[in-house]
Amino acid sequence: MTSHALANRVVMRARGITKTYGPTRALKGVDFEIRSGTVTVLFGENGAGKSTLMKILSGVETPTDGVLELDGEEIRLQDTVDAARRGIAIIHQELSLCPNLSVRDNIYMGRELVRGIVVDERAENAKARELMARLEEDLDPRTLVADLRLGQQQVVEIARALAGEARVLIMDEPTSALSGSEVEVLFSLIRELTANGVAIVYISHHLEEALEIADHAVVFRDGELVAKGDRGEIDINWVISNMVGRSADDLAPDLLDEFGEVALSLRSVTVADPANPSRLAVEELSLDVRKGEVVCLYGLMGAGRTELLEALAGRVPIQKGTVVVNGRELRGESIGERIQLGLALVPEDRQRDGLVQTMSVGENSSLASLLSFVKGAWIRRRGENEGIAKGIADVRVKTAGPGASITSLSGGNQQKVVIGKVLMTEPDVILLDEPSRGIDVGAKAEIFALMAREARRGLAVLFATSEVGEALGVSNRVVVMSKGRIVREFDPRTTTREDLMVASGETTDDDTIGSTTA
């Protein structure tokens, strides 16, 4: 057998996999192959069945019907430990780390390195440092995960999977919280792994990014595998049309061309880094956003976008400078008081900061506006329920009802609940931090259509993204941040991807800079 054939042989196969949850058929007789030394990318909207199949392949779930094969032999995975023993590992979309444990303990939890009858912490520290070096992340293995930013936590999740030296590595949204440079490191590592025969299954809602790494691609829709192709046969339009039945051009939102008066005005705003108060995360930043305008904050991880939005929302203090909302200067108001003044934030991490996991869809929806339903010492439940029903319908949340658990929703629908919760406060200015993180292309289109709709209603919209396509495709104006400062402003109608990348520091090719400053 040739080396090429060895590198492309079927390692794992799913045949006729079906999975039902009560009356819901999440998978409908799926056939799927995983080949050694290659990257197979899975595309599909939230709820299409991708993650369900990956959970079955990694032992998290058992199929209702169908067969799994490993190296040509039928297997039955008992659990994730059984899967790991057979060389199958998964990086989950939602981080599964223990924040109260160290980086080292998270990486080796359940597979501790022992010397005699005790855990060999020195060996674990050394190997954890090696893994961090491979991922080009300078982290002390003894650092608590709770003290890491989201992107660093994502790196730890990846390191934990790599520590098992898997033959089949499933990556479910591994780059959702990574910066551009961190993605490049991960892709370099993926190429190293596939060169050594590891089979990679890769799920991502970042379509262009996923196509860059793909050897093969498959598309899921409504629990079925509906299309598959090799690298030379696939592009963005192929993916989108198979996923949602529409071309990429049909997904762009309808934005206004003319705007009202200034709704949000920032002058010389300076914010300290919450993780390191001696460092400035935002420095002397000035910006105006008008009613009806959608302004994008674009930049790499660490540019200061999140810190700026959280400071505006009252989550972290502003060291100096002025913030004026509808002509009124903010002076130390709490988060709740800023919401009442018409300023509200959709946070970057919806699981940790945007939702209460133990509450229902309805309870999460009304949480930020609960005071508006209070009369005396009582909550007007009828008014609250009417507001919840209207809010759910307004943002088109797909749910069994207000009483459904928030964890029963897809990522895109959870994000709609967070946005709906903010809109129930009747804001004048809405801030959104990475609003499309971890959701599929169809849900992204709906989220950005919601943003555009609220702008047409007169809201001022300020959103942050690290996605070039989003920055250019769904905004009236792009403001590029780097190292806490605004470095350029662009009109997306006359701006190229290279313009934004150069301005943000993603590339140093000065020849690509255009003369398109807004």
pLDDT in tens, 304-314: 999 999 999 99
Residues 24-35 have a mean pLDDT of 91
pLDDT of residue 518: 34
Lookup: tokens for 311 = 């400071």
Residue 380 and residue 406: Cα distance in Å, rounded? 22
pLDDT of residue 6: 52
pLDDT of residue 237: 83
Confidence band for 41, pLDDT divided at 50, 70 and 90:
very high
* Any domain includes 491: yes
Residue 283, H or E segment? strand 276-290
pLDDT of residue 250: 55
Confidence band for 93, pLDDT divided at 50, 70 and 90:
low
CA–centroid distance for 157 within its chain: 14
The pTM score is 0.64
Residues 57-62 have a mean pLDDT of 92
Select the more confidently predicted residue: 263 or 239: 263
3-state SS assignment for residue 271: strand
pLDDT of residue 240: 81
pLDDT of 20 higher than 50: yes
Residues 422-447 have a mean pLDDT of 87
* Any domain includes 258: no
pLDDT of 431 higher than 60: yes
pLDDT of residue 324: 95
pLDDT of 425 higher than 50: yes
pLDDT of 258 higher than 80: yes
Residue 63 amino acid letter: P
Confidence band for 248, pLDDT divided at 50, 70 and 90:
low
pLDDT of residue 58: 92
* Any domain includes 352: yes
239 and 336 in one domain? no
pLDDT of residue 97: 85
pLDDT of residue 403: 92
78 and 196 in one domain? yes
Residues whose CB is less than 8 angstroms from the CB of residue 304 and which lie 6 or more positions away in sequence, other chains included = 271, 281, 282, 283, 285, 481, 483, 484, 485
305 and 417 in one domain? yes
pLDDT of 247 higher than 60: no
Strands (E), 320-438: 320-325, 328-329, 343-346, 374-375, 378-379, 429-433
In contact, 374 and 381? CB cutoff 8 Å: no
* Any domain includes 342: yes
pLDDT of 354 higher than 80: yes
HSE (side-chain half, CA atoms, 13 Å) at 2 = 3
pLDDT of 433 higher than 90: yes
Mean pLDDT comparison of 59-68, 129-138, 153-162, 440-449, highest-scoring range: 59-68
226 and 342 in one domain? no
pLDDT of 319 higher than 80: yes
Strand partners, 346: 432
pLDDT tens digit sequence for 446-497 = 888 899 999 999 999 999 998 888 888 899 999 999 999 999 999 999 998 8
Strands (E), 435-494: 460-465, 477-482, 485-490
197 and 346 in one domain? no
Look over the chain and give the mean of its residue pLDDT values, rounded to a whole number: 86
In contact, 378 and 396? CB cutoff 8 Å: no
Lookup: tokens for 428 = 């004048």
Residues whose CB is less than 8 angstroms from the CB of residue 343 and which lie 6 or more positions away in sequence, other chains included = 264, 312, 313, 325, 330, 427, 428, 429, 431
170 and 33 in one domain? yes
pLDDT of 441 higher than 80: no
CB atoms within 10 A of CB 261: 11
pLDDT of residue 251: 57
Lookup: tokens for 289 = 């956003």
* Any domain includes 271: no
* Any domain includes 235: yes
Residue 77 and residue 92: Cα distance in Å, rounded? 18
140 and 60 in one domain? yes
In contact, 135 and 155? CB cutoff 8 Å: yes
In terms of Cα–Cα distance, which of 472, 516, 470, 467 is closest to 494? Answer: 516
> Could you list the residue range(s) of the whole structural domain that residue 215 is in?
3-246
* Any domain includes 286: no
CB atoms within 10 A of CB 222: 13
pLDDT of residue 506: 58
* Any domain includes 517: no
pLDDT tens digit sequence for 110-156 = 888 888 889 989 999 999 999 888 888 888 999 998 888 777 887 88
Residue 484 and residue 32: Cα distance in Å, rounded? 46
Residue 135 and residue 154: Cα distance in Å, rounded? 11
3-state SS assignment for residue 95: coil
Question: Last residue of some domain: 213, 246, 279?
Answer: 246
Q: What is the CATH number of the domain that holds 299?
A: 3.40.50.300
pLDDT of residue 15: 95
Confidence band for 509, pLDDT divided at 50, 70 and 90:
very low
pLDDT of residue 22: 78
In terms of Cα–Cα distance, which of 234, 439, 258 is closest to 354? Answer: 439
Residue 255 and residue 494: Cα distance in Å, rounded? 16
How many domains in the chain?
2
304 and 366 in one domain? yes
240 and 348 in one domain? no
CA–centroid distance for 454 within its chain: 22
CB atoms within 10 A of CB 286: 12
In contact, 404 and 458? CB cutoff 8 Å: no
Residues 30-59 have a mean pLDDT of 90
130 and 189 in one domain? yes
Confidence band for 94, pLDDT divided at 50, 70 and 90:
low
Confidence band for 370, pLDDT divided at 50, 70 and 90:
confident
User: Which residue matches tokens 């319908």?
Assistant: 393
26 and 161 in one domain? yes
pLDDT of 390 higher than 70: yes
Residue 76 and residue 59: Cα distance in Å, rounded? 9
Question: Last residue of some domain: 187, 214, 246?
Answer: 246
Confidence band for 515, pLDDT divided at 50, 70 and 90:
very low
419 and 355 in one domain? yes
Residue 21 and residue 452: Cα distance in Å, rounded? 36
3-state SS assignment for residue 12: strand
Residue 501 and residue 19: Cα distance in Å, rounded? 43
The per-residue DSSP string of 13-81 comes to EEEEEEEEETTEEEEEEEEEEEETT-EEEEE--TTSSHHHHHHHHTTSS--SEEEEEETTEEE---SHH
